[in-house]
Structure formats: structure tokens, C-alpha cells
Structure 1
Amino acid sequence: MRATLPQASRLHRPSEYANALKGKRIARGALFVVTTPRQVLPDAAGARLGLIIAKRFAARAVTRNAIKRVIREAFRHRRHELPGHDLVFRLYSRVEAASLTALKKTVRLEVDTLLNRAMQ
């Protein structure tokens, strides 16, 4: 059996992303900034994840997909501990050309740190 992130735990519509991006920045690391809406919707069933990984910061599709995979996995493991609001992870600095293994380790360490800050 494969554990996946449910569709209800992801942001889908541009308006959902816009609402979160207009909100407040709750954490920032070397690669990512995490934003959340200012007002939490009362019917929120739990934390939801949005990802913005631009080509200008990660040119190769393989790199972008690996980054997204690592963030989704970290979020999936910790989503029950997170407050019930939307989180948007946005890559804002260029990713160094390294092996995918090293990149995944770097991204996972930073995402875990940012998720810890989001829980506070």
C-alpha cells in the first residue's frame, strides 16, 4: 500500500494560492519562504499544502519534481501536528547544481525546520 497526500490536503485553485500569498510570512529559510492566509477559514478540515517551484530557480524538471516530492512527503508525515490552515512553500533562491541525493537531504532539512516554525 502506498501512502499518499490526499487531494483535500492540497491547494488547487489560483484563488487559494493568492489568498495565502497575500497573507503573512511565517517562516523563511535559505531556499524557501512559507506563507499562510491571515484569516483561517472555520470549515478548514486540516492543514493544506501549496507549492510554487519556479523554473528560474530550478531549471531542470527532474530537480523541480524532486523538490516537490520531498516537501509533500515531509508535509504528509507532519500534517496532523500542524495547525489547520493553508501553507504555501515558495522557492525563492536558485538551487545549486548537485546530485539529487544531496539536494533531497538539503531540502528535507530545511523543510523540517520550516514546518517546526510553522507549528509555533
Structure 2
Amino acid sequence: MRATFTPAARLHRPSEYAAALKGKRIARGALFVITTPRDAAEGADQARLGLIIAKRYAARAVTRNAMKRVIREAFRLRRHELPQCDYVFRLHSKVGPLTLTELKKLVRSEVDALLDRAVR
């Protein structure tokens, strides 16, 4: 099985994000919250990912981009295990002064833990 991250595995429209944000919260960690729509998407054939990383919580573009890359990679590897619906990762707290290596390790460990809770 290929674990690629195609455009079909992403959320694109604002209405898709809005439906997920109005839905239920699956898990919450120190940095992120995962939400999903209340109603399972009709005809959903795979899990899809949306990211909301606000500038007010991560001021530097390098930080925001590194976080997005780590989340996409973790999701790409675990997508086949997840129920078929939309998942939106939203940054909800300020990121402290960390090196990029520390940040990536922190984000990866938290995302893996949140995806474990989403599988259950």
C-alpha cells in the first residue's frame, strides 16, 4: 500500500473547515485540538486532513511550516488506520521559544498521541 498524501486527502474549501470546526472535538493536547464533523461525510472514501496554524500562536513562518510538515507526515503514515472522515488540527496555544529540532519532536509526539485517541 502506498502512503502518499494526495490532494484528495486534504480539506480545500472553507465550508469543509467550517463543518469540521462546528463538529465534535476528538482530542486535545498541549498544543493542538482535533475536530471532526458531527455527521460522517457521505461517500467519504478516505480520511482527510485540514490544518489551522495561526500566526498569533506561532509568529515565525519557519515555525508554522515546520509544524505543518510534521503533522502532514504523521497523518500520511497513519491515514489508513483512521476512520473515514475529515480531521482538522488547530493550534490553540502559544509555542514557546524552542529550536526547530525540539519543536518537531514535541509536535510529532503530541500528534501521534492525538491520532492514537482518534483511532479509538
- TM (norm. structure 2) is 0.96
| Number of residue-to-residue matches in the alignment | 118
SS in 1 for 2:80: coil
- TM-superposed CA distance for 1:42, in Å, is 2.5
| Greater Cα offset, 40-49 or 23-32 | 40-49
Could you tell me which residue of structure 2 aligns to residue 15 of structure 1? 15
Q: Find runs of 4+ consecutive structure 1 residues off by over 6 angstroms.
A: none
- TM-superposed CA distance for 1:4, in Å, is 4.4
Q: Distance in 1 between matches of 2:103 and 2:63?
A: 8
Q: Distance in 2 between matches of 1:73 and 1:29?
A: 18
Stretches of structure 2 lacking an aligned partner (at least 5 in a row): none
What is the percentage of aligned positions where both structures have the same residue?
A: 73
Q: Distance in 2 between matches of 1:70 and 1:97?
A: 18
Q: Distance in 2 between matches of 1:59 and 1:77?
A: 28
2:112 maps to 1:117:
no
Q: CA RMSD in A?
A: 0.8
Superposed, 1:31-50 pairs within 5 Å as: 31-50=31-50
